[in-house]
């Protein structure tokens, strides 16, 4: 990379999240889903088998349905995931700057815009020589965390000169992250009263990924256990579930929506639900949990459903990310 411009830091952090369509309409969803579902980390099937299904069936049916769901959570500023990630990047840069760590922090999306490669090009043009990739996935998963590294590697294959680079593989048990989660629950309880049941809903993955050695399931369980310890919750007041199933393969269990329905049928009149695996609110939290999950619980006989928002731009969350970044940057000239 080129020499830094005057007054431009030579080190940058790329805060990466999954991605989002450009608009809540079918054409934008078709582009987004085509990129997302073509990633071999996401769908682990041979391309010759999967691509005809994807192009011939899924991309002709699913975009319109997904667009309707996105429309229910879209904001005047745009996609919630992008809005929150942009805010997080700006706040993280400010938090680090206040502590004498002069780095650039830019948001990036694995699928959609701003793309990881495009952001790396922009940083190179600004003279950045060192890049820390910080995927905003607390729990490591091949389909998310490793895919982020794949995007960096794909960009690097086209470069003559590569920047020094480091990569944060996850932070599922980071004390600052757990503290931020626990405090978000406590603040919710102060406002709404304490629920006798807390459901933690993590994004689902096929069971096959676990048997192949992916640590995601175990890290989700560890996060939930640490959160329960911080809140002094007995085991009977916590459930760990997995959401967002896709396709016919066996997925990690128990599934979130059936669990919510079962709790209601068993006499639980109130549940609180938090999604610790999501660093920012998005379609999967705002529509799938706060809307569909609520409807399922109430339809099964529940009376009160409370969704606890993601950490988003909470100061404790930014501080946790800041300390994680500081540790990863140690030894680099700033």
Six-digit token string for 239: 């459930």
Q: Which residues contact 234 (CB under 8 A, 6 or more apart)?
A: none
What is d(CA 18, CA 188) in angstroms, rounded to the nearest whole number?
A: 27
What is d(CA 56, CA 117) in angstroms, rounded to the nearest whole number?
A: 29
Query: Chain centroid to CA 226: how far?
Result: 19
CB distance 245 to 255 below 8 Å: yes
Six-digit token string for 166: 């480091």
What is d(CA 4, CA 8) in angstroms, rounded to the nearest whole number?
A: 6
What is d(CA 234, CA 227) in angstroms, rounded to the nearest whole number?
A: 11
**Residue 173 DSSP class:** T
284 in a labelled binding site: yes
Q: Which residues contact 74 (CB under 8 A, 6 or more apart)?
A: 24, 80
Q: Which residues contact 217 (CB under 8 A, 6 or more apart)?
A: 205, 210, 252
The partner residues of 206 in beta bridges, in order of sequence, read 251
Residue burial 311-321, b: 16+ Cβ < 10 Å; e: rest: bbbbebbbbbb
Six-digit token string for 96: 């680090």
Q: Give the annotated binding-site residues.
A: 203, 284
Q: Give the annotated binding-site residues for Fe(2+).
A: 203, 284
């Amino acid at each position: 990379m080129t020499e830094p411009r005057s007054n431009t830091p030579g080190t940058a952090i790329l805060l990466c999240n999954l991605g989002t369509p450009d608009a809540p309409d079918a054409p934008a969803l078709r582009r987004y889903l085509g990129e997302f579902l073509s990633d071999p980390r996401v769908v682990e099937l041979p391309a010759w088998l999967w691509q005809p299904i994807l192009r011939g069936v899924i991309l002709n049916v699913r975009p319109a349905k997904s667009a309707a769901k996105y429309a229910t959570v879209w904001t005047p500023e745009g996609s919630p995931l992008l809005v929150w990630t942009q805010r997080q990047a700006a706040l993280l840069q400010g938090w680090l700057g206040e502590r004498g760590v002069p780095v650039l922090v830019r948001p990036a999306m694995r699928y959609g815009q701003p793309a990881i490669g495009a952001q790396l090009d922009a940083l190179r043009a600004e003279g950045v020589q060192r890049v820390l990739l910080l995927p905003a996935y607390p729990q490591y998963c091949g389909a998310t965390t490793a895919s982020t590294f794949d995007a960096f590697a794909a960009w690097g294959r086209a470069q003559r000169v590569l920047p020094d680079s480091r990569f944060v593989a996850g932070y599922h048990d980071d004390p600052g992250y757990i503290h931020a989660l626990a405090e978000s629950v406590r603040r919710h309880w102060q406002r709404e009263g304490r629920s006798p049941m807390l459901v933690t809903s993590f994004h689902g993955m096929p069971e096959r990924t676990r048997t192949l050695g992916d640590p995601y399931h175990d890290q989700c369980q560890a996060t939930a256990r640490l959160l329960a310890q911080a809140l002094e919750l007995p085991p009977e007041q916590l459930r760990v579930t997995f959401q967002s199933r896709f396709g016919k393969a066996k997925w990690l269990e128990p599934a979130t929506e059936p669990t919510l329905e079962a709790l209601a049928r068993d006499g639980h009149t109130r549940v609180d639900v938090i999604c610790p695996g999501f660093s920012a609110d998005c379609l999967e939290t705002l529509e799938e949990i706060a809307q569909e999950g609520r409807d399922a619980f109430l339809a099964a006989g529940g009376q009160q459903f409370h969704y606890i928002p993601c950490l988003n731009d909470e100061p404790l969350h930014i501080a946790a990310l800041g300390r994680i970044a500081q540790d990863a940057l140690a030894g680099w000239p700033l």
